Structure 1
Amino acid sequence: MTEEDLRPPRDRAPRPVHSESLRVPVWWWIALVAITAAAAALAAALGARWWMWLLIVVIPALMAWLFITVSREKIEVESDGQGGGTLYAGRARLPFDAISRTAVVPATAKQAAMGRQLDPEAFVVHRGYIPTMVIVVLDDPLDPTPYWLISTRDPEGLAAALPDNHYC
């Protein structure tokens, strides 16, 4: 061991341990391009008027804007390596000390979790095109939110990034 290894770390700033963007599936983009190309080919074959060409440009542009807007949602976990950290879901943040326990919600249980069992005070980041979720149960007497329910493509990775002594 060198002298450098024995010194305490100078920078205890939180470091990202999990990060993902909840992007729309690639096949949505492929379908948008295919439908737009088919509409343009049909319009050209039929000798469409100017307003039809306008629709062929405007509607796919609006759909692309929608795809990009929906895909901006991020899920991130930062840890300071000392047991502290923060979970970010979109614009919301949750410190580790407010987390009671976490559990993976498999695709088979998603409908129940988002249906009649959903607490109206829960914080939800849901994307219908992502089949799995993680539930983060809170232990904060000052917060009326009972739990967070978060869509994620990597539920095991997200659950592992959260405090590991609180799993369901």
Structure 2
Amino acid sequence: MSVSPSDQPSPTTAARFRERLVPGPAAWCGALGLGVIVGVTLWPLSHVAGIVSAVLAAASTLGALIATAPVIEVADGELRAGRAHVALSLLGDVTPMLDAEAMRTALGPALDARAYVCLRAWARTGVQVQLADPMDPTPYWLVSTRRPAELAAALRA
């Protein structure tokens, strides 16, 4: 089967950056630990109920963690962080925060209450993206990512 030029993804549709902020190993262990706690709690009542409840608690917690993990993406001329999106043409300066201390400062004493924040505790680095839209009251976006240098480069390209 031949591929015509119209079948090829155009530069505007291909994602320049994409990351799903799924939890790290500690969160997975916490979800499994919750299942164990539920199972041990119900074990004296019924062994079957304890096992079934443990599996359901762990599985539903893991499912919720995956379902609520936001996607950070630069594609189609937009930056998407979770459900929010903004045109790349409305972005200003991009500051990657390459360590946890820089991110902690940006989220603490330096945080503007009007900023849009897409944060996940298990992604300890991120980027701060200034908005150049005078009609938008949001001064900047603060977005968690495990790959801040790559996201910053995609936003600058």
Q: TM-score range by the shorter chain?
A: 0.7 to 0.9
* Gaps in structure 1 of 5+ consecutive residues: 1-8, 80-84
- Pair 1:77-2:70 in alignment: no
Deviates more, 1:123-132 or 1:10-19: 10-19
Partner of 2:90: 98
Identity of aligned residues (%): 31
Number of aligned residue pairs: give it.
147
CA 1:10/1:151 → structure 2, altered by over 3 Å: closer, same or farther? closer
CA 1:97/1:13 → structure 2, altered by over 3 Å: closer, same or farther? closer
Write out per-residue CA displacement over residues 144-168 of structure 1, whole angstroms, 9 at most, x where no aligned residue. Answer: 110000000000000000124xxxx
Partner of 1:22: 21
Deviates more, 1:133-142 or 1:26-35: 26-35
Write out per-residue CA displacement over residues 47-76 of structure 1, whole angstroms, 9 at most, x where no aligned residue. Answer: 6103962653453244223322332x1000
* Gaps in structure 2 of 5+ consecutive residues: 1-7
Deviates more, 1:58-67 or 1:131-140: 58-67
TM-score scaled to structure 2, two decimals? Answer: 0.78
Following the alignment from structure 1 to structure 2, what is the Cα–Cα distance between the partners of residues 11 and 130?
Answer: 31
One-letter code aligned to 1:22 = L
Give yes or no for contact 2:72–2:81 (8 Å, CA) kept in 1: yes
Write out per-residue CA displacement over residues 63-99 of structure 1, whole angstroms, 9 at most, x where no aligned residue. Answer: 223322332x1000015xxxxx211111111111111
Following the alignment from structure 2 to structure 1, what is the Cα–Cα distance between the partners of residues 56 and 94?
Answer: 43
Structure with the greater alpha carbon radius of gyration: 1
Following the alignment from structure 1 to structure 2, what is the Cα–Cα distance between the partners of residues 135 and 31?
Answer: 29
One-letter code aligned to 1:94 = V
Partner of 1:3: none
Deviates more, 1:22-31 or 1:147-156: 22-31
Give yes or no for contact 1:24–1:70 (8 Å, CA) kept in 2: no
TM-score scaled to structure 1, two decimals? Answer: 0.73
The equivalent position to 1:65 in structure 2, one of 47, 63, 67, is: 63
Partner of 1:137: 130
Following the alignment from structure 2 to structure 1, what is the Cα–Cα distance between the partners of residues 38 and 57?
Answer: 11
